[in-house]
Amino acid sequence: MLHPFQSVLLNRDGSLLFCVVKNEIKAFKRDGNAYVTCGEWVDDLDKTSLIQEKVVMEQKRQLTENAAKKLKTNDGESVPQPKKKAKVPKPGVGAPPVYQYIRNLGLSRNGKMLLGCTDSDKAAVIFDIDLDNDKNILKLIKRQPYPKRPNAITTSIDDKDLILADKFGDIYAMPIQNDVVSSINEEQAPISGHVSMLTDVNMVKDSEGKQYLISTDRDEHIRISHYPQTFIVDKWLFGHEEFVSTVCVPEWSDKLILSAGGDKYIFSWNWKAGTLLFKFDYSDLIEKFLTDDHLAPGRFQNEQGNIIEYSVSKIVTLKNLPYITFFVEATKILFVLKVDVDTGSLSFHQSLEFQDKIVSLASAQDANTLCISLDNRENQEADLIKLLSLEGDKFVEQMDTNSNLAKTIRSALESDPVANVELDEIYPLYNSLSMRKHGEHFS
């Protein structure tokens, strides 16, 4: 069967579509009422040399320690230290599988660069998008490894810096055009940090052109810091009681941001004033779409086994229309809310139900188009991607385009060894719920 796309991304006018399947990026270009394949990139990095390098460094450290202890024989002669070739450790029986994801797909603000993160070497990868190349529009221009796994990326407002947040709470700013840094923490220290896992980063600017960095974490925090003087915290936005998984900055307002995560609300904020404007409770809307997938893990269940847990995976918006769209992880329903630009209040506008669970969501802001990828495990002949466009004030499926796109995707993937898998080889598709904390069970 074909592996579902873990994430999808549209450029602003919807003319380019990028999809991630395991450790591969596929690129498609719009051609009339259809899409054609226009590029790909596979992360085929061999980790063996990286692991060997770490083992050699550890051996040198131990040899240095032993030399410092001045190990000697009874005759007072120094004990020669063995020099062994570094061996690459191999997972033992029962070890969990290792997945080589490509995560956090994004575009620079000018749309000329594609950004992503690799699990293989914990790196940020940056591609030039060369539309003049008929064979492959993706040209890798930089691969910057980091000490810890990247969790979120964006760029500065002027696209000069890559902003990256990792799972240990550190945020880095790296000039995109500079050479690769070999030792991050020695040559390029973090510019900011949280005390828990970072989940999303974004940038805003005020009427004077000053930039601010928005960062969210697993501990319910949203922080707004001056940029590049990130040691100056402008304000905190308090109101979440569970982890924050996504923050959205709409272009049709210079003061509003939207956020969501493990709470049952979509939050609307005035980031300039630091105030919570509105909380939209979506729990009644989502209730009938929750399944056994949303039951809490057994060790956190009650005696009745009916504790459910769910979270918003992603919020997206469009350029000029005051709507936001979101979905709850591992459900088949997409929600559209209308936003009052003056008050920040949110109201239900539309819902769209699909035959398969939604895996990821993206928007082409200038084209008023949405894109979702779908989990095809229950129906292997189903479309992997669907596009939806705004007609009047409602989103509808682009039936002809989706039909043509489905043919293009299957043609591009049918002979691809990365994309063709057995059912039990599919990578985990739903990761937000693992961020939920259960401190009450350990107190």
Q: Residue 31 is part of a domain; what is its CATH number? A: 2.130.10.10
89 assigned to some structural domain: no
**What is the domain count for the chain?**
1
Written as one string, the DSSP assignment of 49-96 is HHHHHHHHHHHHHHHHHHHHTT-B-TTSPBPPPP--PPPPP---TTPP
Question: pLDDT category, 397, cuts 50, 70, 90?
Answer: very high
Q: In whole angstroms, what separates CA 299 from the centre of its chain?
A: 28
311 assigned to some structural domain: yes
Question: pLDDT category, 442, cuts 50, 70, 90?
Answer: very low
77 assigned to some structural domain: no
Angle at 126 between CA 185 and CA 359, to 5 degrees: 100
114 assigned to some structural domain: yes
User: Which of 27, 49, 37, 38 lies closest to 102, judged by CA?
Assistant: 27
Highest mean pLDDT among 68-82, 92-106, 190-204: 190-204
Question: pLDDT category, 69, cuts 50, 70, 90?
Answer: low
SS3 call for 144: strand
Between the alpha carbon of residue 178 and those of residues 139, 141, 155, 188, 239, the distances in Å are: 17, 11, 14, 12, 39
Strands of 102-107's sheet in order across: 102-107, 113-118, 123-129, 138-145
Instruction: Tell me the pLDDT tens digit for each residue of 277-322.
Output: 999 999 999 999 999 999 999 889 999 999 999 999 999 999 999 9
CA dihedral 206, 212, 213, 216 (to 10 degrees): -60
Angle at 254 between CA 364 and CA 242, to 5 degrees: 80
User: Which of 2, 3, 7, 1 lies closest to 358, judged by CA?
Assistant: 7
Tally of residues, the chain: 443
Task: Tell the burial category of 109 from Cβ atoms under 10 Å away from its Cβ (0-12, 13-18, 19+).
Answer: middle
Range of 23's domain? 7-49+103-435
2 assigned to some structural domain: no
Between the alpha carbon of residue 438 and those of residues 161, 245, 268, 308, 328, the distances in Å are: 36, 17, 26, 13, 20
Between the alpha carbon of residue 198 and those of residues 113, 144, 192, 201, 235, the distances in Å are: 23, 19, 11, 8, 17
Question: pLDDT category, 241, cuts 50, 70, 90?
Answer: very high
Asked if 192 contacts 222 with a C-beta cutoff of 8 angstroms, the reply is no
Instruction: Tell me the pLDDT tens digit for each residue of 335-378.
Output: 999 999 999 999 999 999 999 999 999 999 999 999 999 999 99
40 assigned to some structural domain: yes
**Residue spans of alpha helices (H) in 93-195:** 184-187
96 assigned to some structural domain: no
pLDDT of res. 198: 96
Average pLDDT over the chain, rounded to an integer? 92
408 assigned to some structural domain: yes
Residues forming beta bridges with residue 371, ordered by sequence position: 362, 387
Instruction: Tell me the pLDDT tens digit for each residue of 168-212.
Output: 999 999 999 999 998 887 778 899 999 999 999 999 999 999 999
Residues forming beta bridges with residue 226, ordered by sequence position: 212
